[in-house]
Amino acid sequence: MGEEKFGAVMGVLVEQIVHLITENYAYDEMIASNEFYNSKVYALLEQEDTKLWHFSPLTLFNMFDEEKKTGSFELPEEA
């Protein structure tokens, strides 16, 4: 995937994940964004070759949620 297209996909995904974080954690958008950008999930997501961008925003949110609660997360089977 081209860098420009990957950037567009990331923008849409991150926006949707941050929205899910604000709904589930009662964080404002700024705190939710910071929490997500500092997560291990985001660190892997921003690497195109991991293919995490193939997952739905809900799946990625659930991975973030698991990381937040336990300190780690498991990749879904289809990874």
pLDDT tens track for 40-53: 999 999 998 999 99
pLDDT tens column, 6-33: 777 788 899 999 999 999 999 999 999 9
Give the Å distances, CA to CA, from 44 to 12, 21, 27, 57: 16, 18, 23, 14
How far is it, in rounded angstroms, from Cα 46 to Cα 12?
Answer: 13
Q: Is the pTM of this model over 0.75?
A: yes
